[in-house]
Structure 1
């Protein structure tokens, strides 16, 4: 009986923690007037995703996912495609095929900029719980024009693979 009670308390704590992360992101979004539910750090995104409280959608190009790396078990819907970085005209249709419009979605790109634009577009199309992952997979450029040293998924040493 004690083990079952402990498991129930742990599950309740995990749900409360997830709700706290999302509510904090929503509050900040209201203060900054973004056009989507909010933004979360890579570590908070991992907490939500790894515990099943959200779906992670990588919006980078397939080339970035292949050659730079990707988060295992995440979904992929490119916001832009190819070396020309043309906006993917099928983005919303592809997203709708993968997830319901009321799902908690965490959008991830290279640095957090494209995923913010994709989050705004998804929200405008009726997705109700779309969050941007701040600093993205690789983070911002440093003073020497390199990524990876100023934040991001890999910088925070969160799980990723490279094919």
Structure 2
């Protein structure tokens, strides 16, 4: 709970020049996450995420493998820090250090995106436990959940909502 308490204090104007003010939409989501006892700053829909990314007030970080990004597609200009690597999805032991380095600090608002929103939730929890204070999960992920036919992208996810993406 102590990490959640420190997360709650960041919606006030930041005392250091390196800290960013949290957009009001994220401040509300974080307040609800704290009330719900989430172990990270909260979940945000793909459409909300894209709207915030376009303002330049948050960073979008894809936590999928490099292979997923290459063969399935990715959001243009998103950062990449793999939560797990390879086909076996072995956990990246340097994830938090790499994330903090790419973000440029512990207090930078970041939205984590994976395939379905599950790995990014685990990554957001680990980052928050390590002291990164504004880490949010993009709900539904890039491809969405499996449907009855065991296919993704038919009911939810970044691509389903028609948000920008590219494929190598």
TM-score range, shorter chain: 0.7 to 0.9
- TM-score under structure 1 normalisation? 0.86
Residue 24 of structure 1: how far off its partner (Å): 2.7
In structure 1, the partner of 2:122 is 117
Length, aligned pairs only: 146
- Larger C-alpha radius of gyration, 1 or 2? 1
**Deviation beyond 2 Å, 4+ runs, structure 1:** none
Deviations 1:19-41 (A, max 9, x none): 33212311331232110111100
Residue 149 of structure 1: how far off its partner (Å): 1.0
Which structure carries more helix by proportion? Answer: 1
1:53 & 1:97 partners in 2: Cα distance?
Answer: 17
1:32 & 1:143 partners in 2: Cα distance?
Answer: 30
Q: Does 1:28 align with 2:26?
A: no
- TM-score under structure 2 normalisation? 0.84
In structure 2, the partner of 1:43 is 47
1:41 & 1:146 partners in 2: Cα distance?
Answer: 20
Deviations 1:28-87 (A, max 9, x none): 312321101111000000011111010000000001000000000010000010000110
Q: Does 1:162 align with 2:158?
A: no
Let me know the Cα RMSD of the aligned residues. Answer: 1.1
Q: Does 1:151 align with 2:159?
A: no
